[in-house]
Amino acid sequence: MRRFVIVLAGLLVAVSATGCAAVSAEGRAGDSAREKARRVGNVLNGMRAGTARDVGRRASELDGVDVLRVSGTALRSKDGVRVVVRTSGTATAGLAGDTVTVRRCFELRVAPDTEWDAKPKGKECPRGEPLSFGPWPKTPDVPAERLRKALPRVPAKARVDEAEVREAVASLRLDPAVRSEFASRDGVVGVVLSVRPYLSETFDCVLARVAPGRTDVWSPPRVQRMVGEGGCGAANAIDPMPPPH
């Protein structure tokens, strides 16, 4: 009888331990899912601007992330953007090392005043399939080689004709999103072809300098192409800035 009681007690302890291990594994898996959501929040809060759709699109590009709901208008608005994401987490349970996988939903607030590494707020998963956002708006190419071939080569003792330079650029039939700028000074004509990629802080631009005896086409270094740096201006085409140190 005593031996039976001991065996029964041992079984109860084993069952209890197994149950605790399972609960603990599920908790660890949930923590793993939350950690993934935290990293998603950091990526989204690294965006400097964008609409609610842009924020949702960026989240949907991340591995293992489903975007189930997006609300708000723009990242820089007073209330920012709220995104409900679904992530998964795994952990091992028991002596056999069985894998426990859970899927959890979290609401992320993306706004200028959101703290870095903010703890994601658990959320009941909305019904329905993950949202689809389509591709990002396409940025047209700025045709450096075509511009190089189209521009006139002016003899060393001849005069540069700005009208001829403009006609050469017009012949390229540029995408309407590519902006053209011209300037003339001291017998030199400067040309800028530029476009600002969607949500980017850096322009794509090609500069040209047409002078008697020499025609140059180039793209400024990235630091000069950033907003406010003036590298994509006509003045830089006529009188190029020195390279950054």
In a domain, 6, yes or no: yes
Q: What number is the average pLDDT over the span 19-23? A: 48
> Which residues 6+ apart lie within 8 Å of 41 measured at CB?
108, 110, 114, 118, 120
Q: What number is the average pLDDT over the span 163-179? A: 96
> Which residues 6+ apart lie within 8 Å of 153 measured at CB?
215
- Cα dihedral 195, 200, 202, 203, rounded to 10, equals 0
Residues 186 and 220 in one domain: yes
For residue 245, the model assigns a pLDDT of 64
Is residue 127 pLDDT above 80, yes or no?
A: yes
Residues 86 and 55 in one domain: yes
Q: Considering its fold, how many domains does the chain have in total?
A: 2
Q: What number is the average pLDDT over the span 22-49? A: 88
Q: pLDDT band for position 94 (50/70/90)?
A: low
In a domain, 60, yes or no: yes
Q: What is the pLDDT of residues 178-192, one digit of tens each?
A: 999 999 999 999 999
Residues 153 and 103 in one domain: no
CB 166 within 8 A of CB 142: no
Residues 88 and 198 in one domain: no
Q: Exposed, middle or buried: residue 31 (CB in 10 Å: 0-12, 13-18, 19+)?
A: middle
Does the predicted model carry a pTM greater than 0.75? no
CA distance between the termini of the chain: 88
Residues 88 and 24 in one domain: yes
The residues that bridge with 102 in the sheet, in sequence order, are: 89
Residues 119 and 154 in one domain: no
In a domain, 218, yes or no: yes
Is residue 218 pLDDT above 80, yes or no?
A: yes
Closest CA to 57 of 107, 110, 132: 132
Residues 117 and 7 in one domain: yes
Domain that holds residue 47: 2-123
In a domain, 84, yes or no: yes
CB 76 within 8 A of CB 54: no
Residues 156 and 115 in one domain: no
Tell me the C-alpha distance between 18 and 31, whole Å. 20
In a domain, 137, yes or no: no
Q: Exposed, middle or buried: residue 209 (CB in 10 Å: 0-12, 13-18, 19+)?
A: buried
In a domain, 134, yes or no: no
